Amino acid sequence: MFQYIKKQLQGMKLMHLNTIDGEKDIYEYSTTPLSPDMYKNLEEIKTILGSSYDIAFREFDFGPQGRIRGTLVFLISMIDKTFLNESIIKPLMFDDRLIEKEEEPELLNIDYIKTTMLSMDEVHTAATINEVIENCLKGYAVLVISGLNEAIVISAYGGETRSLDEPKTETVVRGPRLGFTESLLTNTSLLRRYVRTPNLTFETTIIGRETKTVVCIAYIKGIANPSLIEEIKRRLDRINTDAILESGYIEQFIEDAPFSIFSTVGNSERPDAVAAKILEGRAALLINGTPFVLTVPVLFIESFSSTEDYYSRPYFVGIVRMIRFLSYFISVFGPAIFVALSTFHQELIPTPLLFTMAAAEEDVPFPAVIEALTMGAVFEILREAGIRLPRPVGQAVSIVGALVLGESAVQAGLVSQPMVIVISLTAVASFTVPAQTDSGAVLRLIMVLLAGAMGGFGIMIGFIGVMIHLASLRSFGTPFFSPFAPLTPIDLKDTIVRFPLWAMLTRPRLIGWNDPQRQAFRLKPTPPSKNRNPRNNPDQ
């Protein structure tokens, strides 16, 4: 059996790799050095890559009198064809300067070709079959030359990519309209536009035995805690998987509490939001192939803030944040409180309202807890249908389905009108804090069950349990529930309310302690210019 496998994997080599689970054997590309025989190299490359239709081999002659033969190996889907033809193949084949001078063939070594015959900004060499294949799969064009035991790797990356567009999940009224894309280089350039300092550092690593996904760590030297960067690298190095297809894969591998309903890794597709976070001392993880960038550490309070909060007046922002907190409370505890009041604590309901509720519940055959669970399940079904269906159809299903089902259920006597109102208010309130939509749905179910079993006492037990759980969580060493637990008074200026920007002099103490000073008041005013009057200034 082993001989059969070995025969099938002709150009492959069995290598030994240490992983966190022990030692495992995996197959990697052959590390055979390149041979001066070009056709032998191409045969081995074709054997390993197989007969994929998107792999091209362009053979041509170049150099003085066309005395050098080479072959470009590249993936058609990942190459800019215009650049390949106009900037690589055409200059090599029709270099009149070389034809006139008729340089000796011995001068045309690998360094001569790199420095004299190629004008690309990124050119390097490959010495093994493994390096040739890896560079091809990354989107480079590799020039294999007859008579040389090295190949030239040329940057000609292209292919179809999505243009810059406004983020769909984080819309704002006031603020930038650019969002991250699936291209890692585009995403790093977007960050560079906001943070123009040489201290902004990008460190890359490759994760995934089959996908070879590039993961980039972005942080600012001098502001980010060095121990945080080392911890991120350690957790990334522990990942041993065959595929990383989206940032959610990385998030689940590196998070602190994998069994918690709260995510301890943040994500965003807005460059301005990510830039603001790394300026506070955090680190960002950019994954090639997804517009969602991960940020660590993350705090629970960040779910209730938006990038637009820092572009608006602080007084209005304070009101909006209070509304978000109230909405999240309603989305989690609204149905549970209604169930507890209508089942266990009728004495707390005003008498006129109690009579109205009793009349509405008179013909309903189910207890309040069953109504709440049923209507909650119907809402989740409609929400999921609206998301998964095409947008025009999804909106129609969400609106018409909610109206028709709600009205029909009330007329049929399956649910009461007050319960429909409570569930509708809960559904609308849950959309005000998108970052906690998943955790809110789970907590809502738990609270309804506790309210149906023990009333208000059960809700209080659930609330205390959630607070204890939040206080126990950490995100890369930072308390998840800070600055409330542990209490950090100096950081309360950007929590439930937001102080003016000029008053936020320091970074969050538990995150940006490596360089806590964000800004300072100017101790001495700037002297006025002598030529403040435009008429006295000849340059204006």
pTM of the model: 0.81
Count of CA atoms in the C-beta half-sphere (13 A) of 303: 24
pLDDT at 257: 92
Instruction: Tell me the one-letter amino acid at 204.
Output: T
Measured in degrees and rounded to the nearest 5, phi and psi for residue 152 equal: -105, 125
* Residue range 445-470, pLDDT digits in tens: 999 999 999 999 999 999 999 999 99
Specify whether 346 is located in the same domain as 366. Answer: yes
Q: Is residue 393 part of a domain?
A: yes
Residue 407, domain extent: 314-472
pLDDT at 414: 81
* 42-65 per-residue burial string, b: 16 or more CB within 10 A, e: under 16: bebbeebbeeeeebbeeeeebbbe
pLDDT at 205: 93
Specify whether 111 is located in the same domain as 47. Answer: yes
Q: Is residue 167 part of a domain?
A: no
pLDDT at 13: 37
- pLDDT(395) > 80: no
- pLDDT(8) > 80: no
Specify whether 278 is located in the same domain as 379. Answer: no
Question: By C-alpha distance, which of 123, 135, 60 is closest to 92?
Answer: 60
Specify whether 337 is located in the same domain as 293. Answer: no
If pLDDT is split at 50, 70 and 90, which confidence band does 242 have? very high
Specify whether 408 is located in the same domain as 276. Answer: no
Percent of the chain with pLDDT over 90: 37
Specify whether 242 is located in the same domain as 295. Answer: yes
Measured in degrees and rounded to the nearest 5, phi and psi for residue 64 equal: -60, 120
Specify whether 75 is located in the same domain as 203. Answer: no
- pLDDT(398) > 60: yes
Q: What is the DSSP string of 79-144?
A: B-HHHHIIIIIHHHHT-HHHHHHT--GGG--HHHIIIII---S-EEEE-BHHHHHHHHHHT-EEEE
* Residue range 400-445, pLDDT digits in tens: 666 677 777 777 778 888 888 898 899 889 889 989 989 999 999 9
Last residue of a domain, one of 451, 472, 493: 472
DSSP state of 71: E
Specify whether 297 is located in the same domain as 189. Answer: yes
pLDDT at 525: 55
Q: Is residue 386 part of a domain?
A: yes
Specify whether 211 is located in the same domain as 328. Answer: no
Q: Is residue 480 part of a domain?
A: no
Q: What are the angstrom distances between the C-alpha of 447 and each of 78, 345, 383, 455, 464?
A: 51, 16, 20, 10, 12
Q: Is residue 72 part of a domain?
A: yes
Specify whether 361 is located in the same domain as 468. Answer: yes
Q: How many CB atoms lie within 10 A of CB 189?
A: 11
Return the C-alpha torsion angle 429, 434, 438, 444, nearest 10: -20
User: Residue range 211-224: average pLDDT?
Assistant: 93
Count of domains observed in the chain: 3
* Residue range 128-170, pLDDT digits in tens: 988 898 888 888 899 998 888 889 998 887 766 778 888 888 8
Specify whether 204 is located in the same domain as 255. Answer: yes
Last residue of a domain, one of 472, 498, 526: 472
How far is 167 from 170, CA to CA, in rounded Å? Answer: 6
Contact between residue 170 and residue 56 where contact means Cβ atoms under 8 Å apart: no
pLDDT at 108: 60
Last residue of a domain, one of 436, 452, 472: 472
pLDDT at 523: 53
Q: Is residue 216 part of a domain?
A: yes
- pLDDT(18) > 50: no
- pLDDT(17) > 50: no
Q: Is residue 287 part of a domain?
A: yes
Q: How many CB atoms lie within 10 A of CB 1?
A: 5
Specify whether 327 is located in the same domain as 467. Answer: yes
Q: Is residue 26 part of a domain?
A: no
Beta strand spans in 427-515 (E) = 474-475, 478-479
DSSP state of 517: B
